[in-house]
Amino acid sequence: MEEYRIEHDTMGMVRVPASKYWGAQTERSRQNFRIGVGIETMPQEIIQAFAYLKKACAYANSRLLPERMTYEKLNIISTVCDEIISGELDDNFPLVVWQTGSGTQSNMNVNEVIANRGNKLAGDDLLHPNDDVNMSQSSNDTFPSAMYIAGVLAIQDNLIPAVKELAETFRKLEAKNTGIIKTGRTHLQDAAPLTFSQEISGWRTSLEADAEALSASLDFMNRLAIGGTAVGTGLNAPEGFDVAVCASLSELTGGEFVPAGNKFHALTSRSEIVFAHGAVKALAADMMKIANDIRWLASGPRCGLGEIFIPENEPGSSIMPGKVNPTQCEQVTMVAVQVMANDVAVGMAASQGNFELNVFMPVCAYNFLQSVRLLTESIISFNKNCASGIKANKDKMNDNLNRSLMLVTALNPVTGYENAAKVAKLAHEKNISLKEACLELGLLTAEKFEEVVRPEQMV
């Protein structure tokens, strides 16, 4: 049977599980918001970002308000924050996303855990969750700061490296497949030829552009609201607090955080996270395109395009023996759809700033971080289990190339567009080669046709 202890807040006494470090405000939220319990909890990235932020705030307060933030308090707060960052206290953060729109209860959850855990380590009532851990802060500036810290670190440390690794895989595939000519396709129809390396280079360059866009978005999302406190005025925060916090944060995380130039904007507007998620969505769109290209090119094995081989990872059917499906491509496209849907939620949440505060922040953070996490893991899986094992089916590529009617494009400078079109249409109508159609129409000799229509000179 679970044991309880009594905690209090300004509204009175509350029973709290004795084995947990949270306090009265966390428990009230836990009881009042039974929505998505155990499934849609506040993202761990937010909790870790809060720990970095609380540690940085304690450092800033120790420099600016040393009479209140003593070395002993600073040391204990730092120790507990490190425990949170390492995951040692994960089971002390039970609150769901679907709570107050300012994230106040999650801020207090972190404050209470740091205070109670810190007091246990100190063997004394050294820390108060509001007066010490939340010193010079408000939920209104800490939650948007934590969500931006979490977003920056997730993109910087996880997503961009995953994108670059996949781009490097494609770079190696380009080098490996130099000189292989295949038919191009536009509108899902045969088009002029290109090399397989050129096709792969399009995938690689899309990813490199996406990595650039993601990096650019961080230059906006690294501007933090901290120091604005309740409504942006900085009430109860010492002068220079925001600069000191951001300097400590940058040192602690490896990010490059700076104070937002206007705190009134920083508390109520979420334009930076919308911009950053736009870059995430652009990556999802490119991943959708790349995955679709690859599964189409690998379709078959006998009745599809069949121009490439991809790794066969698991059986594809419970009834059709021997069937193997492009499952890694499918997970990528499903993740891309989820990211695109999340973009709607992020944008709508960001539009709900009323006067001095946005009150849709938890759902905005939840969807943003889910997008980054899913895309990161999806790209890593796709790279490992599909892209790195792609091989060209040279025979099928060559066969399709030689049967393509769009080689006729090479005739344009010699016969003119309209005569070339006649050649293509006659060849298609009679199911004969372009050469045979050209001869039947009397447009070129066999020798001249061979001289003009040379795929290797069309790429």
Taking only the tens place, the pLDDT of each residue in 343-402 is: 999 999 999 999 999 999 999 999 999 999 999 999 999 999 999 999 999 999 999 999
Q: 32, exposed or middle or buried, with CB in 10 Å at 0-12, 13-18, 19+? A: exposed
Question: How confident is the model over 115-154, as pLDDT tens digits?
Answer: 999 999 999 999 999 999 999 999 999 999 999 999 999 9
Q: What is the pLDDT tens value at each position of the chain, 459 positions in all?
A: 889 999 999 999 999 999 999 999 999 999 999 999 999 999 999 999 999 999 999 999 999 999 999 999 999 999 999 999 999 999 999 999 999 999 999 999 999 999 999 999 999 999 999 999 999 999 999 999 999 999 999 999 999 999 999 999 999 999 999 999 999 999 999 999 999 999 999 999 999 999 999 999 999 999 999 999 999 999 999 999 999 999 999 999 999 999 999 999 999 999 999 999 999 999 999 999 999 999 999 999 999 999 999 999 999 988 998 899 999 999 999 999 999 999 999 999 999 999 999 999 999 999 999 999 999 999 999 999 999 999 999 999 999 999 999 999 999 999 999 999 999 999 999 999 999 999 999 999 999 999 999 999 999
Concerning whether 317 is annotated as a catalytic residue, the answer is yes
| Per-residue pLDDT reduced to its tens digit, 409-436 | 999 999 999 999 999 999 999 999 999 9
Name residue, tokens 């002029």.
192
Residues near 399 by Cβ (< 8 Å), separated by ≥ 6?
Answer: none
Tokens 């399009």, located at residue? 202
**Catalytic one of 187, 197, 206, 388:** 187
Which residues, in sequence order, are CB contacts of 76 under 8 Å at separation 6+? Answer: 118, 121, 122, 126, 127
> Contact, 201 vs 175, CB < 8 A?
no
> How far is Cα of residue 412 from the mean position of the Cα atoms in its chain?
46
Distances (CA, A) of 213 to 135, 260, 371: 36, 21, 16
Minimal CA–CA distance to 276: which of 223, 222, 218?
218
Q: Please list, in sequence order, all residues whose beta carbon lies within 8 angstroms of the beta carbon of residue 30, skipping any fewer than 6 positions away.
A: 22, 94, 95
**SS3 annotation, the chain:** CCCEEEEEECCEEEEEECCCCCCHHHHHHHHHCCCCCCCCECCHHHHHHHHHHHHHHHHHHHHHCCCCCCHHHHHHHHHHHHHHHHCCCHHHCCCECCCCCCCHHHHHHHHHHHHHHHHHHHCCCCCCHHHHHCCCCCHHHHHHHHHHHHHHHHHHHHHHHHHHHHHHHHHHHHHHCCCCEEEEEECCEEEEEEEHHHHHHHHHHHHHHHHHHHHHHHHHHCEECCCCCCCCCCCCCCCCHHHHHHHHHHHHHCCCCEECCCHHHHHHCCHHHHHHHHHHHHHHHHHHHHHHHHHHHCCCCCCCCCCEECCCCCCCCCCCCCCCCCHHHHHHHHHHHHHHHHHHHHHHHHCCEECCEECCHHHHHHHHHHHHHHHHHHHHHHHHHCHHHCEECHHHHHHHHHHCHHHHHHHHHHHCHHHHHHHHHHHHHHCCCHHHHHHHHCCCCHHHHHHHCCHHHCC
pTM of the predicted structure, to 2 decimals: 0.96
Q: Which of 215, 317, 351, 428 is catalytic?
A: 317
- Is residue 265 among the annotated active site residues? no
Dist. CA 230–CA 188, nearest whole Å: 56
**Cα 28 from Cα 33, distance rounded (Å):** 9
How far, in Å, CA of 72 to CA of 122, rounded? 9
Burial readout 408-423 (b: 16 or more C-beta within 10 A, e: otherwise): bbbbeebbeeebbebb
